[in-house]
Amino acid sequence: MIRLAREADLPVLREVERAAGEPFAELGMDLVATDEPPSVAVLREFQEAGRAWVHVVEDVPVAYLIAEVVDGCAHVEQVSVRPDHGGRRIGSGLIDNLAAWARDRRLPALTLTTFTDVPWNGPYYLRCGFRYLADDELTPGLRDIRAAEAVAGLDAWPRACMRRDL
């Protein structure tokens, strides 16, 4: 079941993020695997703004999605699923939930940034209806996000921006 995140969920979301990062180590992406999850304070900002959703099992979050509005589109800031709950379409359910939220607000698309060669990233989002954006399609906000990612060292692996029109 998907619902809005609650204050009590926020520490659990950090645990979900840590677990979701572990498979990156198997690809030699230790920087990603060991990256510190967003703080409770940062997660609270999304939660209080009504832009944090969780998929729960017995009311315990096993996945979450946080979003921003970037250049007039709903931007997936982070979507993470515990690996022991993978393969159940939980992530795509959270993305579809965001799409419904965006449609209600008359936003034209969803956007995100991702690793192109990680199977549960770029190829997965293609299956979820996203497409890669060419450089000349990047909005100022997406360019800023990509610049910050580069500074953080994420460009050690191929990354790209994606969009799903609604």
Q: Which residue spans within 14-136 are E strands per DSSP? A: 52-57, 60-70, 73-81, 109-115, 131-132
Domain span at 27: 2-165
Which residues does 11 contact at the CB level (< 8 Å), separation at least 6? Answer: 40
pLDDT per residue as tens digits for the range 85-127: 999 999 999 999 999 999 999 999 999 999 999 999 999 999 9
Which own/partner pairs from 63-67 qualify as long-range (CB within 8 Å, at least 24 positions apart)?
Answer: 63/16, 63/90, 63/91, 63/94, 64/5, 64/9, 64/13, 64/16, 64/17, 64/94, 65/91, 65/94, 65/95, 65/97, 65/98, 66/38, 67/98, 67/101
Under 8 Å between Cβ of 103 and 119: no
Q: How confident is the model over 71-92, as a mean pLDDT?
A: 97
What pLDDT does residue 81 have? 98
132 SS3 class: strand
In CATH, what number is assigned to the domain containing residue 64? Answer: 3.40.630.30
Tokens 């060292």 sit on residue: 153
- Which pLDDT score is estimated for 39? 97
Residue 96 neighbours by CB under 8 Å, 6+ apart: none
**Per-residue pLDDT tens digits for 142-152:** 999 999 999 99
Structural domain total, the chain: 1
Under 8 Å between Cβ of 36 and 78? no
pLDDT per residue over 25-72, tens digit each? Answer: 999 999 999 999 999 999 999 999 999 999 999 999 999 999 999 999
